[in-house]
Amino acid sequence: MELEAGKVAVVTGSASGIGFALAERFARAGMHVVLADIEAGALDAAAERIAAHGVETLAVVTDVSLEPAVQALATAAVERFGAVHLVCNNAGVMSKADAWTGPLSGWEWVMGVNFWGIVHGIRAFLPVLVESGGGHIVNTASIAGLMPGFGASYDASKHAVVALTEDLFLDMRLSPVPIGVSVLCPGWVRTELMTSERNWTGEGTVPGDSVTFAVIGHHVERALAEATTPAAIADAVAEAVIDDRFWVLPHDDFLDLAVARWELVAQKLDPEPAGDVPGLPSADEMLAEALAALSAADPPDPA
């Protein structure tokens, strides 16, 4: 699909990070942009910056975990622009809670945004794309959707996104309407993912950090600070949309780790820790640091 002046793009999670970069990339192509995010103030500021490119914008505060909210987003987009041609289901979060002994609310929040947010986005906008004569859907997953090791709830949600997006791609190949589908699986990107709990909408208060996250979190923060820019990721997405490609895999070094994981699967071997992850200390160093912290921590409350 060509990114042309006058076409309309919808981007969730567009107040910052990859979402904002996508919105800006599409605006530079002359597309009108519907921005959706749960952070109202940051969303308004982002919409102003996008409008400065000379395109029309619409900012809609949206909790993508709620189906009525995403349906309302689709309605607002059509009422304003009459059609939608490109949908980027990009909003995502990460919980630092312990997946096995922490509260279930951590899982529910992550799956609500990362998984259900994309399901809601597809179901709300697919009929709109059909009515518009075709278009393209981009779902933001992660390299964590191809290999585990980044936190159980996050990994599970991103694996689900890859799977459902591949199913959507295959289904759209049978559709009489030209609708392209892509899945974005980046490694480290310079975003605010580590502070996503600032937008906590789960039950109760934000769960405390797991022991492992408390130990290795600063390594991840440094890796993100030194990572690929969101603008570079947005360029990769734009190229995939134009070329009608399914996979958007901007980090070859991470892809090598994912391939190694699948080689274990092909050989029916037990899972192993990933090799050295780019931007982090060696796997052995990380494991030793985490084990030391776990041995020093208090045992979980059986209640």
Amino acid at 290: A
> What does the alpha-carbon distance between residue 245 and residue 242 come to, in Å, rounded to a whole number?
8
Which is catalytic among the residues 107, 150, 154, 169?
154
| Residues 236, 140 contacting (CB under 8 angstroms) | no
First-to-last CA distance in the chain? Answer: 54
Phi, psi angle pair for 128, to nearest 5°: -70, -40
In sequence order, what are the residues at sequence separation of 6 or more whose Cβ sits closer than 8 angstroms to the Cβ of residue 161? 114, 115, 118, 139, 140, 141, 142, 145, 183
> What does the alpha-carbon distance between residue 185 and residue 187 come to, in Å, rounded to a whole number?
7
Beta pairing partners, 182: 138
Amino acid at 210: S
Q: Of all helices (H) and strands (E), which one includes residue 219?
A: helix 211-225
Q: Of all helices (H) and strands (E), which one includes residue 164?
A: helix 152-173
Q: Are strands 247-248 and 135-140 parallel, antiparallel or unpaired?
A: unpaired
> How is residue 96 written in tokens?
């630092």
Amino acid at 251: H
Q: Interhelix angle for 117-131 vs 152-173, to 10°? A: 20
Beta pairing partners, 34: 10, 58
> What does the alpha-carbon distance between residue 104 and residue 173 come to, in Å, rounded to a whole number?
38
68 is catalytic: no
- As annotated, the active-site residues are 154
